[in-house]
Chain A
Amino acid sequence: MDAETRRWAVGGAALVLLLLWPLVHGRDGFPLSTYPMFSSPRDTHAKIAHVVGRSADGSAAPLRPALLGTAEIMQASQIARNAAKNGQRAADLCARVAARVGASDDDANIVSIEVRTDEFDAIAYWNGVRKPTKSNVHARCSVGGSP
Chain B
Amino acid sequence: MIGRASAWFGAPAPAQRLAALRIVLGAAAWIYAAARLVDLVNVARLPTWQFEPVGPVALLAAPLPGSLVVALVVLTLVAGIGFVIGWRWRISGPVFAVLLLWVISYRNSWGMTFHTENLMVLHVGVLAASRAADAWSIDARRASDDVPHARYGAPIRVLVVVTLVTYFIAGYSKIANAGLAWITSDTLCNYVAYDNLRKAELGDMHSSLGAAMVRHPGLFPPLAAFSLLVELGAPFVVLHRRLAQLWCAAAWGFHIGVFAMMWIVFHYPMLGLAYAPFFAIERPLARVFARLRSLRPPWCGRGAAC
* B280 interfacial contact with A, CB 8 Å: no
| B112 and A74 form a contact (CB under 8 A) | yes
Among residues of B, the one whose C-beta sits closest to the C-beta of A2 is B150
Name the interface size band of chain A.
Answer: 35 or more
**CB pair A30 B151 closer than 8 Å:** no
Set A12, A41, A43, A120: member contacting B154, Cβ < 8 A: A12
Q: Is the CB of B54 within 8 A of A78?
A: no
The answer, yes or no, to whether A29 is at the interface (CB within 8 Å) is: yes
In this complex, what residue of B is CB-closest to A62? B203
Question: B-side binding surface: helix, strand, loop or mixed?
Answer: helix
Are A69 and B151 in touch, CB under 8 angstroms? no
Instruction: Tell me the bound Cα distance from A134 to B162 in angstroms.
Output: 44
Cα–Cα distance between A128 and B169 once the two chains are bound (Å): 37
Tell which of B49, B129, B181 touches A41, judged by Cβ atoms closer than 8 Å. B181
Evaluate contact between A75 and B112: CB separation under 8 angstroms.
yes
- A118: which of B49, B194, B201 is its contact (CB, 8 Å)? B201
> Could you say which interface size class chain B belongs to?
35 or more
Quick one: CB contact mask for A10-41 with B, threshold 8 Å, 1 for yes?
Answer: 01100110011011000011111111111111
Determine which of B46, B169, B198, B203 lies in contact with A34 in the assembled complex, contact meaning CB atoms within 8 Å: B169
Q: A50 interface residue, CB < 8 Å from B?
A: yes
Residue A77 CB within 8 A of the other chain: yes
CB neighbours (8 Å) of A78 from chain B are: 110-112
Within 8 A of B (CB), among A76-132: 76-82, 86, 89, 92, 118, 120, 122-123, 125-127
User: Whole-angstrom distance from the CB of B222 to the nearest CB of chain A?
Assistant: 16
Nearest-CB distance from A123 to chain B (Å)? 5
Say yes or no for B61: interface residue by CB 8 A criterion: no
Q: Which residues of B contact A57 (CB under 8 A)?
A: none
B226 located at the interface, meaning its Cβ lies under 8 Å from any Cβ of chain A in the complex: no
Do the beta carbons of A30 and B104 come within 8 Å of each other?
A: yes
Nearest first, the 6 closest Cβ-Cβ pairs linking A and B are A8-B154, A35-B170, A122-B193, A62-B203, A78-B111, A12-B158
